[in-house]
Amino acid sequence: MPKIVAQIPDDIYRNINEEIKLGIFSDASEAVVSALKKAYARKSRSFLRWLMKKEGISEAELLEELGKIRKCHNRRGFSFEN
């Protein structure tokens, strides 16, 4: 996995260290990776909501289409689970 160097505010650094001490994360890298994944997931959901509104797609229509895709992939042996 590629590595990066980042400067973070002191309060966030203290929060990360506190979560490590509490056993929530094993190290700072794990905490930062978790936070980045959550941030990008939130960004993706926001973009999807914006796109649905722009294109006039309802949540029900989106879920129906997702159900069709899952059903098709399940018949072919694909899995969406990690």
Task: Reply yes or no on whether the pLDDT at 76 is more than 70.
Answer: yes
Across the range 6-21, mean pLDDT stands at 96
Q: What is the pLDDT of residue 77?
A: 74
Please say whether the beta carbons of 28 and 14 come within 8 A.
Answer: no
Q: pLDDT by residue (tens digit) across 14-66?
A: 999 999 999 999 999 999 999 999 999 999 999 999 999 999 999 999 999 99
- Give me the residue label for tokens 């309802």: 58
pTM here? Answer: 0.67
Q: What is the pLDDT of residue 80?
A: 61
Amino acid identity for residue 38 in this structure: K
Chain-centroid distance, C-alpha 11: 23
